[in-house]
Structure 1
Amino acid sequence: MSIKESSTNHENKKGLELSCSEIYAVNLISGRWILSICYCLRTGKMRFSELRRKIPNISERMLTMQLKKMEEEKLVLKTVYAEVPPRVEYELTEIGRNLIPVLDQLEIWGEDHKKIKKGL
């Protein structure tokens, strides 16, 4: 569900993003699929079909939408090769690759939190 641009909620979100880089970053990579796509692309270029296989629960439409959003946000570079059939590859941009250490830390934090939550 998207937030109406004229809503108070939208204005509050934008205000927080402008004043706090951490909130801006979390909003940029939040959602179910963006981190999964980044995680898959951390090892290098992948074709759409490869990404689709690596993330089995994502629909083609959702993967297309998320890749487009990531491309607009300069997280992913899309390269189209003039071949028949056309070949398209996706890779993390430099700023996207800068997310890899953050992903590694989130993974560690997530594992630690799961243990604490389970009482281990």
Structure 2
Amino acid sequence: MNERKEDELCLISIREALEVVRGKWSFLVLSLLSLGPQRFNQMRRNLDNISIKSLTDVLRHLEQYQVINRQVFPTVPVTVEYSLTDKGREYIPVLQQMRIWGENWGEHPKLVDGRETSLQYK
């Protein structure tokens, strides 16, 4: 394969990977779910600036890309839990590399919204 064609395929693959984390919240939701399954309201509390609509939209987006799983439990009221799929867990090294880059080159590597970050990757 010639070099130009290989470069084009590389850019397409990168674009596809970035499409998963497009938007303000996808990265943070994936980071949070890398710690383990979460219920909707748990995520809202852990991402304290997110609106119900924004969280709903990002969860639908990530579910559409099959990186998260939505599991409904028949309780009263209904309980819904979100977790990473195998495909989502394979994204964790990407998140880890983004974190390393941010720590090395970001303006405030240890702070998120003026507070120390509590998100750690497995």
Distance 1:73 1:58 in 2: 21
Alignment CA distance shift 1:66-1:103 (3 Å): same
Alignment CA distance shift 1:17-1:40 (3 Å): farther
Gaps of 5+ in 2: 1-7, 108-122
The one-letter code sitting in structure 2 at the alignment partner of 1:89 is: E
Distance 1:44 1:66 in 2: 17
The normalised TM-score by structure 2 is 0.76
Alignment of 1:21-32 (within 5 A): 21-32=13-24
**Percent of pairs with identical residues:** 36
| Greater length-normalized contact order (CA 8 Å, ≥ 6 residues apart) | 2
Q: Post-superposition shift, 1:78?
A: 0.2
Q: In structure 2, what is the equivalent of residue 66 of structure 1?
A: 58
Indicate which of 83, 86, 103 corresponds to 1:91.
83
Contact kept? 1:17, 1:24, Cα under 8 Å: no
Flag as ranges the 4+ runs of structure 1 deviating above 3 A: 16-19
Q: In structure 1, what is the equivalent of residue 105 of structure 2?
A: 113
Q: Post-superposition shift, 1:100?
A: 0.8
* SS of aligned partner of 1:83: coil
Q: In structure 2, what is the equivalent of residue 34 of structure 1?
A: 26
Q: Post-superposition shift, 1:27?
A: 2.2
Higher helix share: 1
